[in-house]
Structure 1
Amino acid sequence: MTKLTCFKAYDIRGRLGDELNADIVYRIGRAFGQFLKPTTIVVGGDVRLTSKELKSAVTNGLLDSGVNVIDLGEVGTEEIYFATSFLKADGGIEVTASHNPMDYNGLKLVREGSRPISADTGLADIQRLAEENNFPAVTQRGVYKQQSVLGEYVEHLLSYINLDNLKPMKLVINSGNGAAGHVIDAIEAQFKARRVPVEFIKVHNNPDGTFPHGIPNPLLHENRQDTIDAVLANKADMGIAFDGDFDRCFLFDETAQFIEGYYIVGLLGQAFLQKHKGAKIIYDPRLIWNTIKLVEENGGEAVMSKSGHSFIKEKMRAIDAIYGGEMSAHHYFRDFNYCDSGMIPWLLVMELVCTTGKTLGQLVNDSIDTYPSPGEINSKLADAKTAIARVRAAYEKDAVSVDETDGISIEYPTWRFNLRSSNTEPVVRLNLETRGDKKLMTEKTEEILALLRQ
């Protein structure tokens, strides 16, 4: 029995060839069918060159398990989330490697109601069945059909905002040659049909699995330049850039400044609280002060959850939170089956710019000045555990509080930091913020990194 190394904590991801190939993906389809015993599953794939072949393999695995398959074609992850619930299917599979390098691909799996399947809710069982590769003979294959739910999905997206609130504005939208282009075109068509005065300036809008302009990952500085240039050249009100499967979007203000995901969480919290007084908003432990302040000022209740989509979705369901945000630019919405979406955030921010009469920069710059942060800093370490323990020992004795919700968060009156090992790669992530003191921010960041990397 060969061990499959492509199974991770939240999804399946691997290097093409040895870690992930059509045979392995076929077995995952069979295992998914055997574990979930579903009647119908929706499948889709991103624009990577291998996604079509792998989607076909997982589809055959499902069909050979007697499962009916609805193929949505080339779509982003959130279209699978939407379709699974909208079509009342028993689960969904998206073939995607999101922002991973060219030679990778993967699968994201959900069950009925678009609930996540991660290591502790079935992924480990699916892995075991795929590794054993001991499936019953094919007796009756499932039925295959192709279907689009794009119209219904776009209609759902637009339900989050009031189109009458939108004023004339110019948006630069960079789909990164990823899967987002067709959705942007569909939203633009709706805006035109309904005479919404918003102009789209589209950059790298056409899907291209060779990614001629780099892997769609706006967290990489070199991948931001095209969006920055387009915002400045067109004097746009806002820039929007997506990752490969567009479950995350990244925003640039009117001066083309990249806005860290952390500050967008507070902004979206505000947007929801203006429409839903007293609602609960979830945030993750990495950076917290700005979110708590804005949620409480707007009459909401801020609730902390461990990072990671399965924890946040579970917590949102448990307390009926309307919105949850991670500083990594994953944003979760109750009315979107508690799933993350990269389309809903920019629509809400665009509406907020129109209703407040402020630019995006004016909406976030106070927060950035009040709680400066250098952004997440990753360190590849041979022995992460010992390194984290060394930092903890140095800082915990004088701390106001020490929290272990996710990694270790240590708080002082004027600054705080969080250190955690990544769930998806061999790195330790540092996040730090201060109360309005950029000098202290730089000082403490350097101090902790030196100790960590010793």
Structure 2
Amino acid sequence: MDLSCFKAYDLRGRVPDQLNPELAEKIGRAYVEVTGAKKVIVGYDIRLSSPDIAEALSEGLMAAGADVFDIGLCGTEQVYFATSHYKMDGGIMVTASHNPRDHNGMKMVGPESRPISSDNGLNDIRDRVLEPFSNAPNRGGHEPLEVMAAYVDHLLGYIDAGSLKPMRIVCNAGNGGAGLVIDQLEKHLPFEFIKVHHQPDGSFPNGVPNPILPENRAATADAVIEHGAAMGIAWDGDYDRCFFFDENGRFIEGYYIVGLLADQFLRKTGGGKVIHDPRLTWNTLDLVKAAGGEAVESKTGHAFIKQRMRDEDAIYGGEMSAHHYFRDFSYCDSGMIPWLLVAERLCQSGHTLSSLIDARIEAYPASGEINRTIDNPAKVIAAIEAQYSPDAKSINHVDGLSIEYDKWRFNLRMSNTEPVVRLNVESRADKVLMEEKTEELLAEMQRLNEAG
């Protein structure tokens, strides 16, 4: 049996050769045997293969003795919400997020929506799939569960509705599931939504929803300009990530959104801890300190960030990859809470989004993440460290290599899944220096790669 769909954090693979209903049924059985779960939330995204895979998964869960609470078509964060809100033993979301249209997958959580990944059960589930199964003495039941109303109420709890003013917002669901939530939120908000690629459609007539790809941004940017909107928002297919565009249609790097949200949250709470990843840090550190918070660095990746947030009881965590995590959302990531907070900030401050962001880009210009294919990533990173460390102010290895100087810093890290090295560079208010150092590092990486 092909089990290549099992990855480090979740399951993803091509349908039907890497993931299909037959395998999904076995995964359901294995999930119950490994976790001991008795009550499990199941939801699925808009992909055409998702209902059949979710049905087979549910069949396996019930055959193994677990009760299935079926929340139907939804986003990943609704599985997280339902699992913790209704105090279930676990939850499984059938989704392949922004993977190609012929793919599907699963994201799994345990009690309190704690992630199940390769270091705490996912590999055990994979290994158990290969063994024969027998039915549980008592078959589990199946019950539909309506979670949208409770979920929308929870989302609205993050903002002060009384401070909101009429505002025009472009929202691009990319034919994923986000439009269903916007339609429900719309009833409670004074905003006018310009809806782009709004209808859920698993055939993805406008391409797979992945706004991080530059070629996928034009539809949102153009609509912002055409309609004179205050901002634009775009989501991936299962809407656990959201991406922002200012009133000029400019795409905003996720790094600057982390700082904005940290600042907004700390203003509300009057302090607390904020978790951030090590790729780009200075803007976040600056804003968190100014707002009376404490910044804590964590290794990149949702399982690491969520665990660190629990350890530190952090109020918010953010990654520049557009994942934003919230303590009151079971430390999970949401693609809906961030834009509500940014909209609230625009209403309360009277500022445009560009004016809030421009000053930060000027203070800490950044390269954005640049990927390079490298034959021997570890060797190249070690050579860069030897070359750049003598004059460094600080060096750390929280995630890859981070080297800091007075005026600039960089992070260099390997991909977990491919021979790629990811570079991020930032400076203190010196865009030219940032650009020079970025080019210098890229040239050096190329030279080292060619030298073998």
Q: Which residue of 1 aligns with 2:280?
A: 287
Cα distance, 1:451 vs. partner? 2.3
Residues 92-111 of structure 1 aligned to structure 2 (within 5 Å): 92-111=91-110
Residues 279-428 of structure 1 aligned to structure 2 (within 5 Å): 279-428=272-421
For residues 379 and 164 of structure 1, the distance between their equivalents in structure 2, rounded to whole angstroms, comes to: 48
For residues 363 and 92 of structure 1, the distance between their equivalents in structure 2, rounded to whole angstroms, comes to: 38
For residues 313 and 387 of structure 1, the distance between their equivalents in structure 2, rounded to whole angstroms, comes to: 30
Q: Which residue of 1 aligns with 2:176?
A: 178
Residues 186-265 of structure 1 aligned to structure 2 (within 5 Å): 186-191=184-189, 197-265=190-258
For residues 141 and 109 of structure 1, the distance between their equivalents in structure 2, rounded to whole angstroms, comes to: 21
For residues 235 and 317 of structure 1, the distance between their equivalents in structure 2, rounded to whole angstroms, comes to: 41
Q: Which residue of 2 aligns with 1:439?
A: 432
Structure 2: unaligned runs, 5 residues or longer: none
For residues 21 and 289 of structure 2, the distance between their equivalents in structure 1, rounded to whole angstroms, comes to: 50
1:128 aligns with 2:121: no
> For 1:8-27, what per-residue CA distance to the aligned partner results, in whole angstroms no more than 9, with x for missing partners?
11111112233222222221
For residues 450 and 18 of structure 1, the distance between their equivalents in structure 2, rounded to whole angstroms, comes to: 41
Cα contact 2:2–2:18 (8 A) shared by 1: no
SS at match of 1:120: coil
Cα distance, 1:90 vs. partner? 0.5
Q: What residue identity is the alignment partner of 1:51?
A: S
TM-score by length of 1: 0.96
CA RMSD, aligned part only? 1.2
For residues 389 and 96 of structure 2, the distance between their equivalents in structure 1, rounded to whole angstroms, comes to: 38
Cα contact 2:41–2:71 (8 A) shared by 1: yes
SS at match of 2:440: helix
Q: Which residue of 2 aligns with 1:141?
A: 139
Q: Which residue of 1 aligns with 2:10?
A: 11
SS at match of 1:107: strand
Cα contact 2:68–2:140 (8 A) shared by 1: yes
Q: Which residue of 2 aligns with 1:271?
A: 264
> For 1:383-411, what per-residue CA distance to the aligned partner results, in whole angstroms no more than 9, with x for missing partners?
22122222222212221111000111011
Cα distance, 1:377 vs. partner? 1.0
Cα distance, 1:133 vs. partner? 2.8
For residues 11 and 169 of structure 2, the distance between their equivalents in structure 1, rounded to whole angstroms, comes to: 34
For residues 96 and 417 of structure 2, the distance between their equivalents in structure 1, rounded to whole angstroms, comes to: 13
SS at match of 1:127: helix
Cα contact 2:376–2:419 (8 A) shared by 1: no
For residues 137 and 317 of structure 1, the distance between their equivalents in structure 2, rounded to whole angstroms, comes to: 36
For residues 273 and 119 of structure 1, the distance between their equivalents in structure 2, rounded to whole angstroms, comes to: 33
Cα contact 2:236–2:242 (8 A) shared by 1: yes
Structure 1: unaligned runs, 5 residues or longer: 192-196
TM-score by length of 2: 0.97
Cα distance, 1:424 vs. partner? 4.6
Cα distance, 1:3 vs. partner? 5.9
Identity across the alignment (%):
57
Cα contact 1:8–1:424 (8 A) shared by 2: no
SS at match of 1:42: strand
Q: Which residue of 2 aligns with 1:194?
A: none
More deviation, 440-449/105-114? 440-449
For residues 3 and 443 of structure 2, the distance between their equivalents in structure 1, rounded to whole angstroms, comes to: 37
SS at match of 1:430: strand
Cα distance, 1:128 vs. partner? 1.1
Q: Which residue of 1 aligns with 2:423?
A: 430
Q: Which residue of 2 aligns with 1:76?
A: 75
Cα contact 1:290–1:367 (8 A) shared by 2: yes
Count of residue pairs brought into register by the alignment: 447
Cα contact 1:390–1:452 (8 A) shared by 2: no
SS at match of 1:178: coil
More deviation, 436-445/325-334? 436-445
SS at match of 2:87: coil
For residues 114 and 376 of structure 1, the distance between their equivalents in structure 2, rounded to whole angstroms, comes to: 30
> For 1:270-298, what per-residue CA distance to the aligned partner results, in whole angstroms no more than 9, with x for missing partners?
10111111211111100000000000011
> For 1:195-219, what per-residue CA distance to the aligned partner results, in whole angstroms no more than 9, with x for missing partners?
xx31111111100011111111100
